[in-house]
Amino acid sequence: MKDRRNFLGFGLATGAAVTLTYCASEPAAKSGAAAALEDEGRDQLGKVVTAYGERSTFEKTARLVPDTKTPATSSSRTPLADTYGIITPNALHFERHHAGVPKIDPAEHKLLIHGMVDRPLVFTLDDLKRLPSVSRVHFVECAGNTGGEWGLKTAPDVTRSHGLASCSEWTGVSLKLLLEEAGVQKAAQWLLAEGADACKMARSVPISKAMDDAMIAYAQNGEAIRPEQGYPLRLLLPGYEGNINVKWLRRIKVSDQPFYTKDETSKYTELLADGKAMIFTLPMDAKSVITRPSGGQKLKGPGALEITGLAWSGRGKITKVEVSTDGGATWKPAQLQDPVLTKAFTRFRLPWTWDGTEVQLVSRCWDETGYQQPTREELVAVRGMNSNYHCNVRKTWKIAADGSVTNA
Amino acid sequence: MHSSWLLVCIVLAAASLCAQKLGVGRAASPDEVKAWDIGISPDGRELPPGAGTSIEGKEVYDRRCKRCHGDAGKGGDETALVGGLGSLATPRPLKTVGSYWPKATTLFDYVRRAMPYKNPGSLSDAQVYAVTAYILNLNGIVGASDAMNAQTLPKVKMPNAGGFIPDSRPDTGAGKKKK
């Protein structure tokens, strides 16, 4: 057990076209039997206690930040291949902002609920924290995640193909409880959720979802929500496309009709081959992807290793994941790691022995509605090639004889 | 008569307070609501007073919008605002205000809340009406001297108003919806 990565069969992604920070900066392994059991320097006192912890200086895993002229309306991606279990560390949660991250003093922040309610109300953060809290694990996924997989030229690694999805334990207040405090009127069908960012990002939400499992979240993985995730308050609509989970939430207006905001009309609609577009396509369909081995990695040689990945559905729990090591000709059931939670990342695993020949790895999943993750051909047949969003096709990785892993 | 009405009012007010189960949060004042109530419904019920024409809007556009969106809504670094009619069912769809957006009210709502990109909220309501009129006029949807205001804007018929259908998923596999 001198080097756990050796045991797992993964090495550095050196010289590949994809040079991700997290691959390029793995700690350098010492070579030779003499070095293996060294305890250098560990008989001296280490670092003192600190008020807010930092990860090991050897760890460099980072979000992928694109080079753009407008970084305030941009996105960064979660390096899913280098995360473990089902929880995304707060600092690695993907980002998508439309007018940058506002700096908000929580003591000044207010949430207004008005419109078709009996009592328009204003809540402070302190007010919300007095109310019964709820904590649940849910993924958030951008509707544009995996958008590159519509075409034949697919993304080279899982950060680029699936990195606009992350999963956290969110804590906050049930939106239903707040709406009941305000007294929702009978005619109410929709509400407008609006952020306090510079562009006042706004989306319409069906009242049925608002009264179901919607949450106003103020915490993420045990601490206050990060600024880039909506500090101090965000709307969380479990399983719905990322954009509608409005960050820096300041206002909810209850109405009898949707508002047709820019982001739910010009964006986040599914343009079909006949020129018609589906609108208000809110839940994210079931999706799975193998994260190790995945594109940009390199296997050190034949032998035992674990195939692992993530599956999730915006419509409930994942019930089954299957993995193929022959490009989809035959399938084996993967083991689902407990806990398997609704509308959350589910970790799957399959022990496997690589024989050193060229192979193609691919996963497919089912959710509790019976829905099966489609192939690219199946999805293109019904949606065409013009729909930028809600692509949930299977992702195939090719392992070459030299151990390098690429997109097939 | 007077006193019985007063009683009704008191009872209603008490019922309203009692209906609040937890009593957390405070009543929002009408002024607070008015200051933040910027979202515009398709029927325009929240549209503010003011008006503007395409002719007035060109002057605002050229100063505040053109640098990113290009001359007359085309050819800029950022989203094209004009053109694309007839392109939606082709391999290269161009989704613009004219070719894709279903509601004219969205244009007023978005320009007022989010534009210009680096200085949102800096246009007056009259300027937003005028820029809205200009972009609609560039797309051939309203005339150059048509004034956009709270009455006229919701009545504007967008070319792709009928182009949207409800979510028809699941659309693959055994559980797909019947067409």
What the block records as the tokens of A18 is 């994809």
Q: How many CB atoms lie within 10 A of CB A208?
A: 10
Strands A249-255 and A110-115, bridge-based pairing:
parallel
* Residue A52 included in any domain: no
Choose the weakest-confidence range: A16-20, A46-50, A55-59, A203-207: A16-20
In a shared domain, residues A242 and A132 = yes
In a shared domain, residues A214 and A323 = no
Partner residue opposite A121 with nearest CB, options B28, B42, B173: B28
Please give the average per-residue pLDDT across A10-15, as a whole number.
38
- The per-residue pLDDT for A292 is 98
> For chain B, which residues make up each domain, given as ranges?
51-77+91-154
pLDDT at residue A267 greater than cutoff 90: yes
Closest-CA distance, A289 to chain B, in angstroms, reads 19
Closest-CA distance, B14 to chain A, in angstroms, reads 12
pLDDT in tens, A298-323: 999 999 999 999 999 999 999 999 99
In a shared domain, residues A346 and A236 = no
In a shared domain, residues A307 and A378 = yes
pLDDT in tens, B102-140: 999 999 999 999 999 999 999 999 999 999 999 999 999
Share of chain A above pLDDT 70, in %: 90
Confidence grade of residue A19 (pLDDT, cut at 50, 70, 90): very low
What is d(CA A395, CA A406) in angstroms, rounded to the nearest whole number? 11
What is d(CA B126, CA B133) in angstroms, rounded to the nearest whole number? 10
In a shared domain, residues A273 and A301 = no
pLDDT at residue A37 greater than cutoff 90: no
Size of interface A-B (CB pairs under 8 A): 170
* Residue A79 included in any domain: no
pLDDT at residue A269 greater than cutoff 70: yes
Residues of B in contact with A121 (CB under 8 A): 25-28
pLDDT at residue A390 greater than cutoff 90: yes
Beta-bridge partner residues of A318: A367
CATH of the domain at A232: 3.90.420.10
Partner residue opposite A273 with nearest CB, options B40, B89, B173: B89
Q: Give CA separation, A182 vs A77, A103, A190, A234, A306, in Å.
A: 38, 28, 15, 19, 52
Confidence grade of residue A35 (pLDDT, cut at 50, 70, 90): low
- The per-residue pLDDT for B21 is 80
Closest-CA distance, A324 to chain B, in angstroms, reads 19
* Residue A78 included in any domain: no
Residues of B in contact with A386 (CB under 8 A): 88, 91, 93
Residue of A196, A170, A157 whose CA lies nearest to A77: A157
**B113 vs A: CB within 8 A:** yes
Q: How many CB atoms lie within 10 A of CB A303?
A: 15
Q: Can you identify the CATH homologous superfamily of domain B51-77+91-154?
A: Cytochrome c-like domain (1.10.760.10)
**A180 vs B: CB within 8 A:** yes
From B174, which residue of chain A is nearest by alpha-carbon distance? A371
- The per-residue pLDDT for A239 is 98
Q: What is the pLDDT along chain B (179 residues), one digit of tens a residue?
A: 455 555 554 544 444 555 678 899 999 999 999 999 999 999 999 999 999 999 999 999 999 999 999 999 999 999 999 999 999 999 999 999 999 999 999 999 999 999 999 999 999 999 999 999 999 999 999 999 999 999 999 999 999 999 999 999 999 998 887 65
Beta-bridge partner residues of A364: A322
Cβ–Cβ below 8 Å for A280 and B166 = yes
Please say whether the beta carbons of A86 and A310 come within 8 A: yes
- Report B:119-148 residues touching A (Cβ under 8 A): 120
pLDDT in tens, A23-32: 333 444 445 5
In a shared domain, residues A254 and A291 = no
In a shared domain, residues A133 and A214 = yes
Closest-CA distance, B167 to chain A, in angstroms, reads 5
Q: What is the mean pLDDT of chain A?
A: 92
Structural domain count, chain A: 2
In a shared domain, residues A273 and A296 = no
Domain membership of residue A137 as a residue range? 110-154+161-278
Q: How many CB atoms lie within 10 A of CB A104?
A: 18
In a shared domain, residues A147 and A209 = yes
Partner residue opposite A265 with nearest CB, options B36, B93, B106: B106
* Residue A385 included in any domain: yes
Residues of B in contact with A280 (CB under 8 A): 166-167
Confidence grade of residue A378 (pLDDT, cut at 50, 70, 90): very high
**B66 vs A: CB within 8 A:** no
In a shared domain, residues A261 and A380 = no
Please give the average per-residue pLDDT across A54-80, as a whole number.
95
What is d(CA A16, CA A299) in angstroms, rounded to the nearest whole number? 13
Residues of A in contact with B101 (CB under 8 A): 265-266
